[in-house]
């Protein structure tokens, strides 16, 4: 499997996890459990960092795959 596809799948999974964390923090905040809600919000912030790191790695993988594609198909070289 291409690395960019792996990072895309991981990004979708982690992004969905962030939405679940936000939902759960709202539920606990609504029930008056402030400390638990704050913990879930802190986890959500860590999730956001993970999402940005995965986006960076996916972007780098796409650039590498693009360079390899052009090298294999000779699209980057002039016609002689």
Domain count, the chain: 1
**Is 42 part of any domain?**
yes
Q: What is the pLDDT of residues 19-28, one digit of tens each?
A: 999 999 999 9
Residue 35 lies in a domain: yes
73 assigned to some structural domain: no
Global pTM value: 0.74
pLDDT at 80: 47
25-50: string of b/e by CB count within 10 Å (b at 16+)? beebeeeeeeeebeebbebbeebeeb
Tokens at 63, concatenated: 């650039």
Residue 76 belongs to a domain:
no
Model pLDDT for residues 17-73, shown as the tens digit of each residue? 999 999 999 999 999 999 999 999 999 999 999 999 999 999 999 998 888 777 777
pLDDT at 2: 85
């Amino acid at each position: 499997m291409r690395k960019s596809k792996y990072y895309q799948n991981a990004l979708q999974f982690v992004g969905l996890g962030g939405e679940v964390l936000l939902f759960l923090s709202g539920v606990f905040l609504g029930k008056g459990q402030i400390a638990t809600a704050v913990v879930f919000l802190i986890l959500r912030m860590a999730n956001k960092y993970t999402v940005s790191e995965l986006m960076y790695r996916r972007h780098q993988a796409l650039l590498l795959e693009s360079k390899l594609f052009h090298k294999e198909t000779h699209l980057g070289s002039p016609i002689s």
